Structure 1
């Protein structure tokens, strides 16, 4: 390097180290053509261009560096970031793949590739790249946060929880990221950590800071409402005066929508349904992301339904489902095919009599086994869970997919489910139960001698695994009129992409319902489990008798605490399912026969449901 070039590079480095990015660019502009091609000069110039928002110029600079030194992964990484910021996403991906071929164990490269896929809404690819980054650098907090969000979008709750482990101790996050992190922590039931994340958020400069304060206030309202802390939500709502939302600049659409959505949620809680309808319409008039659009459309449908505006409510539901399909298309595009089966069937190969050939294994008795609450979603499983959790002898862990996880763990090691259940050794079964109990222990470290309640509706599709590990378990199948089930599913903003697709049309949903019960009764015939059929309509009309019946099935001397479930649910704060508000109100008949208001819409799927309406003892 000549003296002139060395001095040039030093002057640029001094300017860069004192935060004078514009001066770095100015010095480079005075360089002779030969000096301008020096590697150190180009690195500093590219960084300064990037720092000042000159992304196309930065991309051109880093491309020159990558061509000069194609063996340096950092230059390809810098090129990729500059291309992504400049909007050239294909070039960014190609540069990152080149960098990874040179440095496959570089966590930052996997992280940047994950960010690129996130921007492209290629969520499965984003999730894998970000999980890879965390695997290589477990303390890479930004990667953990982005991986958790990708898992959140993909409906991967297990990995999301793993990524957010220890998040309560993370350093303060920029306000935009704090909003995302707090939402995910709330979904996990950790309201205190969610609120702490918002309290420590780092704000941008004004006027953007004022906009972010309104968004964070709106988030607090929704967090408190979601956790049934209505007084706290109402107090927080005072930080969102309507005139402040109206006064927001035109480019603050998301903040305006967040604020109106918070007001709408509280109007629904007050029973001011016409007001809520108008507020949700204001949200939908904003230019916002798909998730916010879908949430507002479901809210609008609920507000109209409460006012008896059934055709208008159904119209809002169609918009909600169309928006959710757009979300799901970027996660599970294969499920949008007309012949797809969004509801994954995990069993069905155990024929009657085959179970008798299983190798006998020792297993826990009924009192040492979980109580499994199953049934098609929206059949009253949350109500029953809260009844059981209200009893001092039982403890629920909210909705977890741990039995599904055990099935996945079998398949990952090359075993075929359910066929290979027959070949499990005592050690295999003990290990699987040990994994299950460790997962439970992370959620309920204080379970002690209380009986575990494992409520996951679609565990009805996992009966072979349950019977292999806990053959003496008490299982409660929740039933409700199939048409009421379908209507209720249609009106819920499920987070699972597969369920978004399943509920997108009544035809898909009806077929999924029929397939689930076909498998359930086929498995029941094969295994003859200890099952109690728990009918929602009977609970509503004969509550005391049904509580006594439940206590008898579970061999509980005094079932009376179960009757105080509504009070218990109010004290519990977070309940993960869409029924979080309803179960605090006690038992009522409003949800019985509700489908008749939408009979015209449900009429085309009655032929699919009719066999199950008859078999389950219902009428049209």
Structure 2
């Protein structure tokens, strides 16, 4: 630049301000650039010129100006915040983190700075920090939609589904969002079962003009296809795929890796659903070869394993499963590193027990009748709980709410109130139990507002570990324990891409799974002896062999006059659409024996863990 550029005058500053206020960034640049390097340039000129450079995509040049402002006025948090934003856009993440952390320390009550810091942590794949930071921003500014959305996204990524639900409460009524945010919102709403709101978020998305528009439209098509498949609507899913031909993948720019992955994933999922197993395997293999984040690779490997299993290619199935679990452990170590240590306990609730003497100290309290209580469907995951849930939900007297951890949430509420679970169940008063039931009812109301007079079905397999809480709040409740051959259960768990990091670790080897299974049932049987709850054992193999007999028995247990509607569960599940568990496709197929004794094909892998399982096999009446 010229050494003779004029000293910035008040008239020049006013002209730059006017141009900026009119959105004329070209004029801001034209007026400001000639004086930008002068040491005596007004800070306001540097600030507005920095914004203009940012608007023009000159992020490094913009960062230089904001850096000068932090040197001139190091106590102004806004300058640090601006530097952090453009440094992140420029890819200088170290500078961005320092700048945003400085801004947050100077203004700890400023939600926007925390929001920007949270975005940076997410970009760095530091999801626990992203979650914590965005939740702090939401706490400071509950109406800050962008922070709530990003907080929910981070919670979901960390396996904190309850946190995601809380931060997205009321999101169905949010105004239309920019397309990139609408994609996150729709994905979150879909994972929570609110499909109408998810599709509406995409329909209302505000698309930009210019070259980014086409890529965003393609990403929305990929998400819609995935959502349709997840809702057992294969024809609309295939229609969306027409916008995403495989030939598209060769034309995508390198920065569209997420679109590349999502397109391959949905092509593979739908091919598998249509029985096109060779095509599905090819898509999953191509996805694995494309590399990517550990969770993406894990999901692809699980998909490949399921496909190879259907093809009867056992060795390749097991190889894919080993890969999948290695990537899941890689993913989980960032969230639960303590669980990777030898002797750690992923199922921490198994350590919570109430003995006979403790139970004897429980004061008798008034409680709801069986008809006023939820019906609890429990059992180790992959034991047939989703099948039973859909059977019950098909009956007009019942209403399920999909899988929710509300009972577990009540144990956390006790701890937040300074009470120890389960020890302090003994000291709860009538008012305390009524308050906990009200909290539970409030959570249910948000996800099942149409419950009305119907009886609630609370299906969560691992509620089997929360029997003390159920016994305290709903001692008259009917509980159905789903059973299936333990080896079939373990194989099914081993083949599933669970989202919970602790459960990822639990399922990382058959030995850990077998130990967890035995520990869960040891705790269950201990509590059954203590509380003597009203329990019906629902054994999968027997139900498959004598379905009508067991449906009648189920109706009698639940005091239902006509259990016939339960037999039409497959039709009901197809009409229902979204089912959150991995069984969402299987339960639409009706009763069959395909899931019985699947583990025999992999018996050599089970031989080392049979000694761990044998005592429980005998107790449950199964043979090895």
TM range (shorter): over 0.9
Aligned ranges 1:26-425 → 2 under 5 Å: 26-31=30-35, 36-205=40-209, 207-249=211-253, 251-345=255-349, 348-425=352-429
**Residues 194 and 583 of structure 1: CA distance in aligned 2, closer, same or farther (over 3 Å):** same
**Residues 570 and 33 of structure 1: CA distance in aligned 2, closer, same or farther (over 3 Å):** closer
Partner of 2:17: 13
**Residues 123 and 423 of structure 1: CA distance in aligned 2, closer, same or farther (over 3 Å):** same
Shift of 1:516: 1.0
Shift of 1:545: 1.4
**Residues 208 and 100 of structure 1: CA distance in aligned 2, closer, same or farther (over 3 Å):** closer
Q: Does residue 555 of the first structure (1) align with residue 580 of the second (2)?
A: no
CA contact (8 A) 1:569 1:583 kept: yes
1:453 aligned counterpart, secondary structure = strand
- State the distance in 2 between where 1:283 and 1:126 align: 27
Q: 1:615 aligns with which of 610, 616, 619?
A: 619
Shift of 1:187: 1.0
Shift of 1:132: 1.5
What stretches of structure 1 of length at least 5 have no aligned partner? none
Q: 1:526 aligns with which of 518, 530, 534?
A: 530
Q: 2:610 aligns with which of 589, 606, 610?
A: 606
**Residues 211 and 39 of structure 1: CA distance in aligned 2, closer, same or farther (over 3 Å):** closer
CA contact (8 A) 1:342 1:502 kept: yes
Displaced runs of 4+ in structure 1, greater than 6 A?
none
Shift of 1:166: 2.5
Shift of 1:513: 1.2
Shift of 1:505: 1.8
**Residues 88 and 256 of structure 1: CA distance in aligned 2, closer, same or farther (over 3 Å):** closer
CA contact (8 A) 2:381 2:493 kept: yes
What stretches of structure 2 of length at least 5 have no aligned partner? 1-5
CA contact (8 A) 1:346 1:417 kept: no
Q: Does residue 566 of the first structure (1) align with residue 570 of the second (2)?
A: yes
- State the distance in 1 between where 2:36 and 2:272 align: 69
Shift of 1:366: 1.0
Shift of 1:269: 1.6
Shift of 1:23: 4.9
**Residues 136 and 308 of structure 1: CA distance in aligned 2, closer, same or farther (over 3 Å):** same
Shift of 1:37: 4.3
Q: Cα deviations across residues 473-502 of structure 1 (Å, max 9, x unaligned)?
A: 111111111111111011111111221222
CA contact (8 A) 2:350 2:519 kept: no
Aligned ranges 1:418-433 → 2 under 5 Å: 418-433=422-437
CA contact (8 A) 2:353 2:523 kept: no
**253-262 or 546-555, which moves further after superposition?**
253-262
- State the distance in 2 between where 1:548 and 1:4 align: 88
Partner of 1:500: 504
Q: Cα deviations across residues 570-595 of structure 1 (Å, max 9, x unaligned)?
A: 11111110001101111111011101
TM-score by length of 2: 0.94
1:372 aligned counterpart, secondary structure = strand
Aligned ranges 1:460-471 → 2 under 5 Å: 460-471=464-475
**Residues 582 and 34 of structure 1: CA distance in aligned 2, closer, same or farther (over 3 Å):** closer
- State the distance in 1 between where 2:119 and 2:240 align: 33
**Residues 618 and 432 of structure 1: CA distance in aligned 2, closer, same or farther (over 3 Å):** same
Shift of 1:201: 2.8
- State the distance in 2 between where 1:417 and 1:346 align: 12
Shift of 1:350: 1.1
CA contact (8 A) 2:35 2:41 kept: no
**Residues 45 and 207 of structure 1: CA distance in aligned 2, closer, same or farther (over 3 Å):** closer
**Residues 124 and 248 of structure 1: CA distance in aligned 2, closer, same or farther (over 3 Å):** closer
- State the distance in 1 between where 2:300 and 2:328 align: 12
Aligned ranges 1:591-602 → 2 under 5 Å: 591-602=595-606
**Residues 557 and 74 of structure 1: CA distance in aligned 2, closer, same or farther (over 3 Å):** same
Q: Cα deviations across residues 269-300 of structure 1 (Å, max 9, x unaligned)?
A: 22121221112222223244433322222111
Shift of 1:341: 1.4
Q: Cα deviations across residues 168-192 of structure 1 (Å, max 9, x unaligned)?
A: 2333333333222211111111212
Shift of 1:456: 0.5
**Residues 23 and 286 of structure 1: CA distance in aligned 2, closer, same or farther (over 3 Å):** farther
- State the distance in 1 between where 2:91 and 2:8 align: 36
Q: Cα deviations across residues 387-421 of structure 1 (Å, max 9, x unaligned)?
A: 11111111111111111111101001110000000
CA contact (8 A) 2:16 2:45 kept: yes
CA RMSD of superposed structures (Å)? 2.1
2:67 aligned counterpart, secondary structure = helix
**65-74 or 183-192, which moves further after superposition?**
65-74
Q: Does residue 444 of the first structure (1) align with residue 448 of the second (2)?
A: yes
- State the distance in 1 between where 2:505 and 2:491 align: 15
**Residues 600 and 208 of structure 1: CA distance in aligned 2, closer, same or farther (over 3 Å):** farther
- How many residues align? The count is 619
CA contact (8 A) 2:36 2:46 kept: no
